[in-house]
Structure 1
Amino acid sequence: MEFLTVEYNPWLVAMSFVVALVAGAAGLTLTKDLSQKTVTQKKLAVALASVALGGGIWSMHFLAMLGLRLPILFYYDAAITLVSALIAILMVALALVLLHFTRRSNAIIVVAGAIVGFGVLAMHYVGMAGMQLCRPVYTPLGVISSSVLAIALCVLAFGVAYRARSTRNIAIGTLCFGCAVVAVHFLAMAGTNFVALPETNELGPLIRNETMALGVILSSFVIFGGFLWAGTIYLVPAPAEPLVELKPTSLDAPQATRLVNIPCERDGAKVFIPASDVAFVRADGHYSQVYTMTDRYFCVWPITEATTRLLPAGYVKVHRSYLVNPAMVATFERSKDKGRLTFGEGKLPPVPVSRSHLRDAKSAFG
């Protein structure tokens, strides 16, 4: 078996790295501060970021492939090329859904990074399978080393970007993501040889390098610019939450407590409910429900976020799923090792007090 001579255009190699950085910056920026967005905005941001990151993986690969120089003419199968792009986008989408619609933890971040790493690998090797009139021949070392590097670097990129959603961390995560995509591609290519084939075996229409170049240029710059522009239109930052400083009323009152307004959604509109007007907050899956004496609102905070923000403001946790405003409680009824709270003449349902929080409730309500 005679292998073909392989060379690269260094300018296109450098440009492929720039594309990977642009994709990382677009995707990771669009998913910043989603906890302050409505559910609709959150879904839109994840969709945009999935196309930006997944499309960036695809664009980087084929821009680098445009720099590949072989002594023969070769083409790409359009159907397989499209499938490779969809694989990258869908794998990234799965990772972002885990990060933004489940309870985020270190384990979830690692899993999400690994999924993106697998997506980079799958996109690369499926895209390579679309080559016509030549066939890539892989070495076990190249496949194994690129696989390990893909997963490790993508886990690192998402670990940095999601450890703290600051501009600095996102910038470092973008650099890690760009390095991950580029390093995986060229490490895999270093372990790949090519042999000429006498005929094509395509599933769809054939794409010449000139046509591929136009598609890559469009996806590399116009699409990423469009997604960033759309993000500025639809993902308008939420208004800053006004803070009201409360002076301690007794020696037992917490010092420097702050009463924050709670971001809620009702009838598709976002509103802020003063914590002093809320009777209790109830967990609702990965979100929560906010109850005033007359209304109920959907809140994007998970119960863990509500606990972090509202306990310093004087709320009491009486159950793993409930936070209560003591000022609204009318009665506290205890029954053996449990209890319940009621809220006066309103139509609010009673709130259960669990055994593990009974001491706190007794201390707060007598």
Structure 2
Amino acid sequence: MIEGYDPYLVALSVVIASLGGYTGFSLTARIRSGPGANPRVLLSGAAAILAVGIWTMHFVGMMAAPLPADAVYLVLPTIISFLICALVVGISLFFVSIGDPSPRRVIPSALLLGAGIASMHYVGMHGLAGSFGLTHDPPLVALSVGIAIVAAYGGLRIFLARQDGLRLAISAVAFGIAVSGMHYTAMLGMHVEPQGEGHRHAAIGLAASPQALAIVVAVLCFVIAAGFLLSLVPDRRQPQPAPVVADAAPQLAPEPPAVPATAEPPVEAVLPNRVIAAPLGGIGQPPRVTAARLPIEGANGTHFIDAGDVRSLRADAHYTRVHDGTRERMCPWSISEAEAQLDPGRFIRVHRSHIVAIEHVTFVGKEGEGAIIELDGPSKPRVPVSRAKVAEVKARLGLRRPA
């Protein structure tokens, strides 16, 4: 079946799978690092664009194959094949995004996703009808399923790694080649038998001609290309300055009280869930009370996490999501309340939607008009830095002298 393939359509199918992979992985890369973005929307968009890319690649590959002239596509199996692909992609991405990225989650997700991609292919093949029969070589069927599982595992690892730039492009191309390899391996094991041999695939039910399917596929190709281009657009939103309320009459600030030269350094008094830093030897500002632990909402109640284990906090509507280096969990505090509660010597608000623990920063690099920092931990979370905060972050890291 390999002889007679249209090389241009074969190349187009690989490009479509690669663009779908890049767009889907780019969207998932913003689930934890995207400023102000809804994780559910990003996850749904990533699953949809990956499913569209895989499914469209399949039918472009079908159009590239030298099929009989009277071949038509049954509408119901064709739609079911897409729904299978969308369902397994969504379940797999959701399953690995709700907890630790451990092999216990990644491997079952890869098996599910690979089996779903293979099922999508063979259900779609069942929708091919005409005065002929189809047979498949069992060894090549098994090989195609194995390739699909390996491609799914690599794609999920890319999702968890949240790579960007050139590495993400290379990974997406590799994913596109792997998914296409599964398709063409399965096609290599498929044989078209003349009528009377094997099982005849009669066109029973609503059918679509290859020309109609080509129009649908062309529209989906434009959708993938549009999503790809949109994923390349940088987020240029900057934090809004806080409003300044002027007093009715200007007042002079009182002179700070003199502190004797023999004053002792500040000491920390630890109270339940709070740390109070109070200066001794003089009357000054009220002692700053900072949280030693943060509340975390769970299915069975409220838990607490030590502030020293916190890597970052991300705004999520009126709440925040706390990242401990492994996963995110819901905190009932708003981002402003968290900024007021946490120790400013250890935490810094680097974006209107993000606070990080400066002691856990392991990498800082330029991204767009701002910067990106990476924190330690098993999943190495990444957090954006707004342009207005870059200098302060670098100063806190010892990379630049404070102004």
- With the length of structure 2 as denominator, give the TM-score of the two structures: 0.59
DSSP-derived class of the 2:14 partner: helix
Cα distance in 2 between the residues matched to 1:180 and 1:276: 55
- 1:103, 1:298 → 2: CA distance? 21
- Quick one: distance in 2 between partners of 1:232 and 1:14? 23
* Counterpart-to-counterpart distance in 2, 1:226 and 1:204: 33
Give the secondary-structure state (helix, strand or coil) at the position aligned to 1:153: helix
| Aligned equivalent of 2:400 | none
Q: Residues of 2 paired with 1:46 and 1:68: CA distance?
A: 33
| CA offsets 1:288-334 (integer angstroms, 9 cap, x no match) | 8899xxxx962223444699xx899659xxxxxxxxx9xxxxxxxxx
- 2:156 match: 158
Q: Which of 100-109 and 176-185 deviates more?
A: 100-109
**C-alpha separation between the residues in 1 aligned to 2:156 and 2:121?**
20
User: d(CA) in 2 for partners of 1:183 and 1:5?
Assistant: 12
Letter in 1 for 2:223: I
Check conservation: 2:2, 2:188, Cα contact below 8 A.
Answer: no
Displacement of 1:156 after TM fit? 2.3
Instruction: Render the CA deviation track for 1:213-243: whole Å, top value 9, x for unaligned.
Output: 11111111x211343466689x957758xxx
CA shift digits 1:25-46 (9 cap, x unpaired)? 1101111131145897111111
CA contact (8 A) 1:50 1:89 kept: yes
User: Structure 1: how far apart are the matches of 2:225 and 2:161?
Assistant: 26
Conserved 8 A contact 1:48-1:227:
no
Q: Find the structure with the greater CA-based Rg.
A: 2
Does 2:132 align with 1:111?
A: no
Q: Which residue of 1 aligns with 2:389?
A: none
Of the three residues 139, 145, 156, the one matched with 2:137 is 139
The answer as to whether partners of 2:16 and 2:57 remain within 8 angstroms in 1 is yes
Q: Which amino acid aligns with 2:322?
A: W
Partner Cα separation in structure 2 for residue 238 and residue 108 of structure 1? 34
CA contact (8 A) 2:28 2:162 kept: no
How many residue pairs get aligned? The number is 278
Q: Secondary structure at the match of 1:86?
A: helix
Q: 3-state SS of the aligned residue for 1:8?
A: coil
Partner amino acid, structure 2, of 1:298:
Y
3-state SS in 2 of match to 1:21: helix
In the aligned structure 2, how far is the partner of 1:41 from the partner of 1:5? Answer: 44
How far residue 173 of structure 1 moved from its aligned partner, in angstroms, is 2.4
- Residue type matched to 1:75 in 2? V
Maintained 8 Å contact 1:37/1:238: no
Deviations along 1:19-78, one digit per CA (max 9) or x if unpaired, are: 111111110111113114589711111111111101111100100111111344110100
2:320 to 299, 321, 328: 299
Cα 1:166–1:111 shift into 2, 3 Å:
farther
* Greater percentage in helix: 1
Residue number in structure 2 paired with 1:280: 293
| 1:223 equivalenced with 2:220 (yes/no) | no
Alignment of 1:1-366 (within 5 A): 7-37=4-34, 41-133=38-130, 134-197=132-195, 201-202=202-203, 204-220=205-221, 222-228=222-228, 236=235, 278=291, 280-285=293-298, 298-304=319-325
Q: Is contact 2:31-2:37 (8 Å) kept?
A: no
Structure 1 residue 137, shift from structure 2 partner:
0.5
Specify the code of the residue in structure 1 equivalent to 2:30: D
SS in 1 for 2:322: coil
Change (3 A) 1:140 1:41: same
CA drift at 1:175: 1.8
Q: SS state of the match for residue 29, structure 2? A: coil
Letter in 2 for 1:299: T
Structure-1 residue corresponding to 2:259: none
Give 1:128 shift. 0.3
Q: Answer whether contact 2:26 2:164 (CA < 8 A) is retained.
A: no
Q: State the secondary structure of the residue aligned to 2:25.
A: helix
* CA distance in structure 1 between the aligned counterparts of 2:289 and 2:87, rounded to whole angstroms: 43
Cα separation, 2, equivalents of 1:288 and 1:67:
57
Structure 2 letter corresponding to 1:223: V
Percent identity, aligned pairs only?
A: 23
| Matched residue type, 1:215 | V
> 5+ residue gaps in structure 1?
241-248, 254-274, 316-324, 326-366
Distance 1:232 1:5 in 2: 35
- Cα deviation, residue 277, structure 1: 5.8
AA of the residue aligned to 1:122: S
Cα RMSD of the aligned pairs, angstroms, is: 4.1
